[in-house]
Amino acid sequence: MLIYPEAGVTSHEDHPLARIAVHNAIAALDARAYIKASPSVLGSNGLNQEWITLEYGTGNPSNDDWVGVFSPANFSAATCDPENNMVTPPLLCTAPIKYQFANRSNPNYKRTGKGSLKLQLINQRSDFSFALFSGGLRNPKLVAVSNTVSFANPNAPLYPRLAQGKTWNEMTVTWTSGYDINEAEPFVEWGPQGGQQTRSPAGTLTFDRSSLCGGMPFCAAGAPARTVGWRDPGFIHTSFLKELWPNLVYTYKLGHKLFNGKYIWSQMYKFKASPYPGQSSLQQVVIFGDMGKEEADGSNVYNQYQPGSLNTTKQIIEDLKNIDIVFHIGDIVYANGYLSQWDQFTSQVEPITSRVPYMIASGNHERDWPDSGSFYGKKDSGGECGVLAQTIFCIADTEHDWREGTEQYKFLEHCFASVDRQKQPWLIFLAHRVLGYSSGDFYADEGSFGEPMGRESLQKLWQKYKVDIAIYGHVHNYERTCPIYQLNFTTSATDDA
């Protein structure tokens, strides 16, 4: 079992996109300013992420000038949804999906007024435009807008995410596309590598603004998720691949059959099925939390937000041949209500999620919002209320009440009791917040050394069902303890503990 710590990461500042005062934006189009993007069509070769070049200039340059990437391309006030309640209609009714300062690649920008950038775009089911702003992030003034850039097929099936099914011989495949069920029939074509292929249908879901915080009684309106952070999520499809043979390698590809008879295909992927329960086998598991995402092109000034995200992703990809399953136990993306970031994340981890099961748990940055049913009343989710991170596995959700007598407590006990320790001798408990023991500074300051009420409610279950290991996220550091029960060490510490 490998644990990838996100050591030294400080991610509880404002989200980089929150630094842009969208409500202060004004139009100040300048005939001397320009911005051009090339190429204008991406993905003709089947790729779902490509680099583009921006060239821009202005007659009144400043080191505060910045370039925003917008998708959909039309971001004017005329497109504002009624949900986006601004004091006065702004020029912008949506935050950009990323930004960079205009002088990033040209230290002489302030003198010459000219610059260029290379940005990476991923297929996000819509077109893109690029805008040059003066006035800094707090008082943005739009001085130029680019031509439109789009992918050849913005609706293409993308970013498959594998998850272990409810039984050992089932795998679920989830992906995103721009095709609603009334436009095309989604399915997965799959089978043993080199063998006969079959097709399994997929269900289709989506959500709208009313699904997020503020769409339920007595819940405060969820900004930015329902306002400047909103972006259409497309359609989420899930298919169930059943009756897998143990340890067999399967290939699969995502498909959509249009009603004119045409088929839209993804590339081919593969995975290895789980071993039979009780079979003598080595299972290598990676567990981590609080990873987030980072821009490969350096956008959004993420170096002080999630600087380790790309390094962690790269390391897992390099080790993937030795990994059977991944657990990401909360604080997944740190989108904090800027929904475009979820697409960015699924693209970043696709080389992992398309090959091995990627199991997730909600953290405070996915779920928490006042009066929304979350156990904690903070606004860490930015108004998402957990809609984008539903969990389907035997992992505790620390953002809902886990105390004795609650539905989650009953769920956990049922989960523990259902384990056949002859076939699955190791019982591991996972959660985002520390429900056991931690020396994290904020826990130490409280004197609790763990989430208050966590141990008191769950220790009896851990002891009754003989849980072997508990692993948590949230603290952003690596630490471990000897076995502890009711504040007492139960065994002596050893060098190989």
Q: Are 309 and 333 in contact (CB under 8 A)?
A: no
- Of residues 44 and 218, more confidence is placed in 44
Residue 419 has a pLDDT of: 81
Q: Report the half-sphere exposure of 264 (CA within 13 A, side-chain side).
A: 20
Q: Indicate the range of 75-84, 212-221, 245-254, 377-386 predicted with least confidence.
A: 212-221
Burial label, 99 (beta-carbon count in 10 A; 0-12, 13-18, 19+): buried
What is the predicted pLDDT for the residue at 87? 36
Closest CA relative to residue 429, chosen from 454, 404, 400: 454
pLDDT digit string, tens, across residues 421-430: 776 777 888 8
Q: Is 164 inside any structural domain?
A: no
CA neighbor of 227 nearest in space, from 80, 340, 341: 80
pLDDT digits (tens, 9 = 90+) for 53-99: 999 999 999 999 999 999 999 887 666 665 555 434 445 778 899 99
* 5-9, 199-203, 377-381, 441-445: least confidently modelled range: 5-9
Cα–Cα distance between 286 and 430 in angstroms, integer? 12
Is the peptide bond prior to 96 cis by the omega test (within 30 degrees of 0)? no
The whole-angstrom distance between residue 251's C-alpha and the CA centroid of its chain comes to 25
pLDDT of 391 above 50 = no
Does residue 336 register a pLDDT over 80? Answer: yes
**87-105 pLDDT per residue, tens:** 344 457 788 999 999 999 8
What is the overall mean pLDDT for the chain? 85
- Quick check: 174 and 240 in contact, CB under 8 A? no
Choose one of 130, 151, 172: the last residue of a domain.
Answer: 151
pLDDT digits (tens, 9 = 90+) for 18-29: 888 888 888 889
- 418 located within any domain: yes
CATH of the domain at 66: 2.60.40.10
Q: Are strands 98-101 and 66-70 parallel, antiparallel or unpaired?
A: antiparallel
pLDDT exceeds cutoff 90 at 280 = no
In a domain, 214, yes or no: no
The Cβ of residue 43 has, within 10 Å, a number of other Cβ atoms equal to: 18
How confident is residue 301, by pLDDT bands cut at 50, 70 and 90? low
**φ/ψ (deg, to 5) at 184:** -160, 150
| % residues pLDDT > 90 (the chain) | 46
Residue at 424 is within a domain: yes
Choose among 371, 421, 443, 326: nearest CA to 219.
371
The predicted pLDDT at position 9 comes to 40
- Confidence class of residue 455 from pLDDT cuts 50, 70 and 90? confident
Place of tokens 């819940």: 219
State how far the Cα of 6 lies from the Cα of 15, in Å rounded to an integer. Answer: 18
Q: What is the pLDDT of residue 418?
A: 82
| Full-model pTM | 0.81
Q: Indicate the burial class of 486 (C-beta count within 10 angstroms; 0-12, 13-18, 19 or more).
A: exposed
CB atoms within 10 A of CB 403: 13
Last residue of a domain, one of 106, 134, 151: 151
Q: What 8-state DSSP symbol labels residue 276?
A: P
In a domain, 339, yes or no: no
Boundaries of domain holding 59:
16-151
More confident residue, 300 or 120: 120
Question: What is the average per-residue pLDDT within 210-238?
Answer: 77
In a domain, 313, yes or no: no
Q: 375, 373, 372, 385: which is closest to 452 by C-alpha?
A: 375
Residue 363 lies in a domain: no
CA distance 144 to 209: 30
**Is 392's pLDDT higher than 50?**
no
The residue with greater pLDDT, 367 or 99, is 99
Count of domains forming the chain: 2
Residue 269 lies in a domain: no
Q: Would you place residue 10 in the very low, low, confident or very high pLDDT band (cuts 50, 70, 90)?
A: very low
Give the end-to-end CA distance of the chain in Å, rounded to a whole number: 14
Residues 6+ apart with CB under 8 A from 419: 427, 465
Of 151, 173, 194, which residue is a domain's last?
A: 151
Q: pLDDT tens digit string along 139-190?
A: 999 999 999 999 999 999 999 999 999 889 999 999 999 999 999 999 999 9
